[in-house]
Structure 1
Amino acid sequence: MVEDLRKFATLVKKYRKQKGMTKEELCQDESELTVRQLTRIESGLSRPTLTKINFLAERLDMNLFSLMPDYTELPKEYLDLKYQLLRNTTYSDKRKIYEEEKRFEIIYENYYEDLPEEEQLIVDILTTISDVNESELIELGNHLLEDYLDQLKKKNTYTLNDLLLIKLLLIIMIHDDDIYCNPGWQLLPQIVQRLLVDDGELLIYQQFVLRDTLFLALGLFFRLGDYKKVREILDRLIQIMELTQDYQKKSLIDMFEWKYYLSYKNDKKEAKEYYESAIHFAEMIKEDMLLKKLKQEWQQDIK
């Protein structure tokens, strides 16, 4: 593994210099690859993902396979574990939290050290999201955002890593008592507008992350009283649900619909229909913790 990294690092550095390119020139606006990341790749300290290798090959005007002759696929078990972490929600259920912790444990014990840097970042962000959600200590996530926030500002489209960083940012904003002083506050409109754009290139598991990120944005815009944006996000969430044919979050969509009709439309009858739909679906998928939270939320909203 170390020898493969060194060979790849030597190739990248050699071809970059042959092209007469500085690191800054190769990285362009750093939206795909930062100078820091390139330095780590050329030093043999980071195993790049296929996306990064593709970018390097294009910038160096090279055949992809001449740059990555020894590229190996990620282990199937790791991919399965990652998929479960990306898709599932714990709803503060102790059993689900335990299962999530076991998945992290297996990844760290068996796979983490050999993962490409971007995959390690995915695991780091997912771990941090879990920690911040459980502890509500926003300081736990600030170090990751400090490293990548500037890069996010330059993006026109978002990768999986970007979506996870945005998810972490929104979670921190939700738990921040002084949201208007949060570094993400100025970025929020720009980020959400890009999330609302229909990107047909996202894979299904990336759609799950986009969905969960939009739910967080939805909560923030309810808090801010921006019901125009609330409606846009709800419509996008319905679109994603129909696209993926994954209805596990339908009860949450119904919950936000009832809140929308109560708070903005002042239509208690319509709101109650969405409440009953949310309860029915939570019962159908046997999510007891979600069912309990929905009932509590409804009682609080109709006071």
Structure 2
Amino acid sequence: MSNLEIGKRIRTLRTEKGLSREAFCGDEKELTVRQLGRIETGNNLPSLAKLDYIAGVLEIPISQLIDEGMIIVPKEYLKLKTKLIRQSIHGDEEKIRQREAIFEDIQEHFYDQLPEDEQIAVEVLQAIDDVYVSENSEFGEGLIEEYFEQLLLKTNYDTNDLLILHLYFLKCTLNAKPIDNVFENIYANILEQTNFSDANNIHLIQRVIVSIVLYHFNIEYYDLMPQTLSAVREIIDEIQDFALLPTVDFFEAKYYIHTNQNKDLALDYYNKAINGSKLLNDKSFRDRVIEEKNKDFP
């Protein structure tokens, strides 16, 4: 069954129930009108989560819409996606080239066969890299415009929500966007995320919190810095993955410098960040930390 056939069947069943797209999608928390439109016209293959929602509204089993075997996501793709999620680049040109090669591999071998949610994940991951490498906040603007409002309706975030949030805060950092109620609500929700069963999600929660820290530094807002950095450390201790520890130590050093609280502690954290990045063989980040340390301790 093709995407178009699936879409036609969903549209037929929806109209038979007398439901407009707006009524079908309700508050659009699970499915937006725009997303339903793309599914019904065959432009996107829905994920299992969206199919489950659609089947629930139609009051039929998923099997009446699609053979679930059609949307099994290839393991090879998932391995590449996981590497993109967990790898830090810190301006390392070799890692940037490696990631570009991964994106090319995904586009060539997997993208067209992926369900919509996975295609979005790839697009957001690419936009994050583009923003980070170019320092141009215009990348990914369309993704934010389309999906951010839907995200604001949620309190628990899935992988794509966290990717969108990571992109959002990177863009806010470059634009020096002031803190508002949107930020406060998201920040509170992020700190409440306690599900450690999904490894990619917990890594992304760390990335989002780190992007929040960058945002704080850029707008010179330090009130929540200790709480925020403590949240990352708790996750690191829980999952015993220390890849981001040098980054946290670096931010601790900058916090104590910027707030003029304790230069001895700042120097100690600088040295921890340098030694940690050396142990992780992250030369690019180590060199950056040394450069910042020399500026603050000439």
Taking the TM superposition and a 5 Å limit, the aligned residue runs for 1:1-303 are 3-70=1-68, 71-176=70-175, 179-180=177-178, 187-200=182-195, 203-264=198-259, 266-302=261-297
SS at 1:179 equivalent = coil
Residue deviations 1:270-303, cap 9 Å, x none?
Answer: 2222222222211111111111111112223346
The Cα shift of 1:214 comes to 0.9
SS at 1:62 equivalent = coil
The Cα shift of 1:226 comes to 3.4
The Cα shift of 1:102 comes to 0.4
Q: Considering only aligned residues, what root-mean-square deviation do their CA atoms show, in Å?
A: 2.1
Q: Distance in 2 between matches of 1:283 and 1:194?
A: 34
Change in Cα spacing, 1:199 to 1:64, as seen in structure 2 (3 Å) is: farther
Q: Distance in 2 between matches of 1:233 and 1:61?
A: 43
Change in Cα spacing, 1:45 to 1:201, as seen in structure 2 (3 Å) is: farther
Q: Counterpart of 2:136 in structure 1: which amino acid?
A: L
The Cα shift of 1:19 comes to 3.5
SS at 1:68 equivalent = coil
Unaligned runs of 5+ in 1: none
Give the alignment's TM-score, normalised by structure 1: 0.90
> Which shows bigger deviation, 81-90 or 232-241?
232-241
Residue deviations 1:180-234, cap 9 Å, x none?
Answer: 4xxx855222222211113316611111112111101012123334333112211
Matched positions, count? 297
Change in Cα spacing, 1:128 to 1:93, as seen in structure 2 (3 Å) is: same
> Which shows bigger deviation, 67-76 or 189-198?
67-76
Unaligned runs of 5+ in 2: none
Give the alignment's TM-score, normalised by structure 2: 0.91
Residue deviations 1:225-268, cap 9 Å, x none?
Answer: 43331122112111221232211111011111222333336112
Residue deviations 1:168-190, cap 9 Å, x none?
Answer: 111112222x534xxx8552222
Conserved 8 A contact 2:44-2:116: yes
